[in-house]
Amino acid sequence: MSPRLSAAASLRRGAASLRANFGLVWLNGVGLLLLSLLTAAGVLLPMLALGFDLRAAYDVLIESDFAPLARELPGRLETLTPAVAGALLGALALWTLAFLVYCWFLAGTYGVLIAADRQAPPGPPRGRLAFRTFSGRDFAGWAGRYVWRYFWVLNVLLFLATPLLVALVVWLVLTAYGAQRWGAAAGVGFGCGGALPVGFLFLLFMVWTWGALADAAREGSGIWAAIRHGLRVVGRRPGALFLLALFFMLLTALEAGLVLLPASLAIQALTEARSAARAGALLSLNAVQWLANAVISTLFAAAYVALVQSERRAETPALPRSAAA
């Protein structure tokens, strides 16, 4: 049996796989760009159908200023015209397409990473070249082969998350009711008292999801096989999974807090509202964010693949010497 990897060893192995297959970062950056464009188009269609002008669309999509939209939207939704209904259907189609694009890039990324992890010797990494397996053709092959598997894995997991979403809504309602019925102190009590268990359940569900994604592109896996294996890994290695998740949450928070937020505030302070200079600077900042998120998400996926696949190998009994011979 192969040795199980710790969180630190999984991270080192994932970093070696990332360095060997760095082309995944550029492809995932393109994927994030396409996802953003399709999502933005899905927002733009209903806004135009409801009579908002391009200035309002600019505020929402470029400036991330939703205040004017929130003020005017209730009144404009009073009459649902055929044009608005058609725009909403178009937005739904675009968001579905965006989800499929996301699954396509997921399938290609995990296909390459699982192949790289299978190719390299088990245990701590002994050099990044052992993980080298990336090519655009292989990425497209894995993506085309497993896109629907990832689509249904995510849909099944979202369905299974329904009780968790109900718990979240109940917690929010109780918090609001407590604040209104017994005062702000009761609202804070409900909020703080429920935040820990609800947050823990969401984190537990997320590491289960990531574990399933890290197995779904394996040869011989499947929709339910990946979901079951992800749950088994959560039961056997919760500490390692949580440590990896917390590390990447901290990395993302540092990226946002130390780089993206100060840069965004500086752009808003130094440029005029709705100017070409501000739009160009914000779009450039978004490009940097796409690339940084692509690096972080690919490293995260590679580390989870290393941990989840080490558990898969550990489940396989070693062959007797006579059989191996």
Output the DSSP codes for 101-167: HHHHHHHHHHHHHHHHHHHSPSSS-S-GGGG----HHHHHHHHHHHHHHHHHHHHHHHHHTHHHHHH
**Tens digit of each residue's pLDDT (9 = 90 or more) over 106-157:** 999 999 999 999 998 887 777 778 899 999 999 999 999 999 999 999 999 9
Q: In total, how many domains does the chain have?
A: 1
| Within-domain flag for 57 | yes
Question: Predicted confidence band at 12 (pLDDT cuts at 50, 70, 90)?
Answer: very high
Residue 2 maps to a domain: no
Question: Do the domain assignments include residue 320?
Answer: no
Residue 148 maps to a domain: yes
Cα–Cα distance for residue pair 148/163, rounded to 1 Å:
25
Mean pLDDT (the chain) is: 84
Please give the residue range of the domain that contains residue 132. 7-315
Residue 1 domain-assigned (yes or no): no
Q: Is residue 325 assigned to a domain?
A: no
Whether the predicted pLDDT of 319 surpasses 50: no
Task: Note whether residue 324 is domain-resident.
Answer: no
What number is the average pLDDT over the span 243-269? 85
Domain assignment of residue 321, yes or no:
no
Least confident of 19-23, 52-56, 93-97: 52-56
